[in-house]
Every structure is written in C-alpha cells, then in structure tokens.
Amino acid sequence: MADRETLYGKTPEELAALCGGLGMPRFAARQIARWLYVRHTEDPLLMTDIAAAHRQRLAERFAPAFSAPERVTESADGTKKYLFRIAGGHFIESAYIPDGERATLCVSSQAGCRMGCKFCATGRQGLQRSLTAAEILNQIVSLPERDRLTNVVFMGMGEPLDNTDEVLRALEILTAEWGFGWSPTRITLSTAGVVPELRRLLDATKVHLAVSLHNPVSEERAEIMPVERAWPIAEVAAILREYDFTHQRRVSFEYIVMSGLNDSPRHIRELTRLLNGIKCRINLIRFHKITDSPYFSPDNAAMVRFRDALTARGIQTTIRTSRGEDIQAACGLLSTRLRSGL
C-alpha cells in the first residue's frame, strides 16, 4: 500500500488529468475534490456521485492517506502532543493548543530537520525526510479536535521552506474554495529564512509569516543557526521590506531569549536597526531546556525588561506564553529521534 500514490493531496487540475488517463470524465475531478477536502472522505467506494466502475478503478489504484495518531500525551495546561507514524518507519509530532475560544494546531512539514539550530531538539535529530502534502494535511484531518481548530501554524518539526513544493500544495488545499476554504489569516508559516524560497511563498500565498530570528548579529546568529551562513538575516529583512504587511497579512519575528547570549542592550539596538522599515511584531520565547544544552532562559523580570526596551523603541513586542513544556511539546522541543531509532 505504501508504494501506491494517494488521491489525497492532489489539486483539481491533477485530478482532472488523472481522470482523463483513467477514461473518466474530467468533471469528476471536482466531485473527487469535494469528497476529499470538504467531506474529508478519501475512500473512492464511498464517492456515490461517481460511476461505480470508476469508483472501483480508483480504489484499486490509490492507497489511503489518512492515518490516525499512534499516541497522545496531554499536558497539565491542556496542550496535547500527537505522535504520527509515516512511511519509512519514521515519526512526526504535532501539538494541539487550546486557548479559550481559539484552538491552534502546530503541524510538522518534515520528519526531523537539517537546519541544525543548536537550541532546537528537532535540529539535533537531523533530517529523515520531507512530508508529502497528504502527510501534512493528515495531521489536521485525523485530529480528534479537527472541527474545533481556529488556526494552524507550520511551526512543528522541520523547515517548511526546505519542503516548499509540498507545503505550497498543502496551503493551496487549505485555502482554496474547492479545498478546506480557510482564510489565509488562519495560517502562519515559520521559517529560519530560506531566501531562495521566501519570495515564492510570499508571492504564492497570503498566509502570515513568522521568521525565526533569535539573534540580530550575523556572526552570533551563525553560531546558533547555520542557516545564517547561507542566507543572512539581513537578506531576509531586505526581501520583507518589499512586501506590504500593513493590511491583513502579518509578519512576526520569533526570538528565543537565551540569558547572556542574545538579550543585551546591544542586541536591542541591532534588532531596531535590522527591522527598521518592516511593520512587524517580535514574539519573545523563553528558552526551553534540552539535554546537554549550555543555554538557559532569563527570569521573568529580565524577559519583561527586554520586552519593554524593544517596545520603547517602537517595536511591538510580546512574551509568548509557554505551553506544553511538561510533555516536550513547547517551542524547540519536538523530537522523534528515539522512536526513529537514531
């Protein structure tokens, strides 16, 4: 079954070409898309407005894509971490974060990650493989709380712009009229700054953007984020100045605060210089301890001082509340290294 392709994850254009190749009317593509993405039904035999012979043909050719989570771990704060098995014997994790009337799902785009950020458990795992659009979307459609979701953030395992084709496909399905029909404002994608793919994302979608910044000084950022050597954060900022973030689409910068490493007055000055001309927000995140890490988070008072200093310089800055730290579901903690036998 794993060697067969899935219907789920295909666009109407791809489904139309598929229908033509199977001797089916091309208009059946829209019917199939409705079953897949509106009714969340992937079994062709249940697609009752398609001819029985065609249903049988589809069922024989295509494998199911949906896969329920293998395990759920619940935090004291209500956050849930879901473990999914994917083809190849690998695993990924997603985090469900309820917050009053909001319910956010943090999805993964890769099993592991090759960006190598030193403060991130996923980065230590290395990259096993990128996910297909169907595997990305499965984290949503197979979630028990699927119908409660208000937002999805691509902030789980992996660098989304290291898997741009499949991520864009998933985003198209999420936001298209023939797909989930979600507003792009319900979706945020986080990137460490893969410059060659950044314009492509910004031109192709209207989803919110979150840039993993963590240090505005190039030499220092390169020490904790190897991506800086290939694509400096200054290049990322220059690209963002070309786009309009004054209306519905927003850009934010994620900043994990590590005591004595990136929280000095000098860093405040450099952040102000780097982000000049970009309408944005900085989200300050407490560093969540990982094994054998030399970094640690400032205390609450220091976090507040850092926030207030940035705010005083005209940069909207918030301190993000940590969720799910007790189950290793907070920012930077997702990892399936042990389960993948690494």
Q: In whole angstroms, what is the distance from residue 111 CA to residue 130 CA?
A: 6
Angle, in degrees to the nearest 10, between helices 265-274 and 300-312: 40
Question: DSSP string covering 105-161, please?
Answer: EE--SEEE-SS--TT-HHHHH-EEEEPPHHHHHHHHHT-TTGGG--EEEE-SSS-GG
92-118 confidence digits (pLDDT tens) = 999 999 999 999 999 999 999 999 999
Is the pLDDT higher at 327 or at 146? 146
pLDDT at 274: 98
Q: In whole angstroms, what is the distance from residue 179 CA to residue 303 CA?
A: 41
pLDDT at 44: 96
DSSP 72: E
Which of 248, 292, 254 is CA-nearest to residue 275?
254
175-221 confidence digits (pLDDT tens) = 999 999 999 999 999 999 999 999 999 999 999 999 999 999 999 99
pLDDT at 289: 80
Catalytic residue of the set 93, 135, 228, 254: 93
Q: Is 331 designated active site?
A: yes
CB 75 within 8 A of CB 324: yes
Q: In whole angstroms, what is the distance from residue 179 CA to residue 200 CA?
A: 21
Q: Which tokens is 293 given?
A: 């890490």
Name 303's bridge partners.
Answer: none
Q: Which tokens is 145 given?
A: 């709380």
Catalytic residue of the set 113, 117, 120, 331: 331
Question: Over 90: is that where the pLDDT of 245 sits?
Answer: yes
pTM assigned to the model: 0.94
Which of 194, 188, 120 is CA-nearest to residue 157?
120
C-alpha dihedral (20, 23, 24, 25), degrees to nearest 10: 60
pLDDT at 334: 75
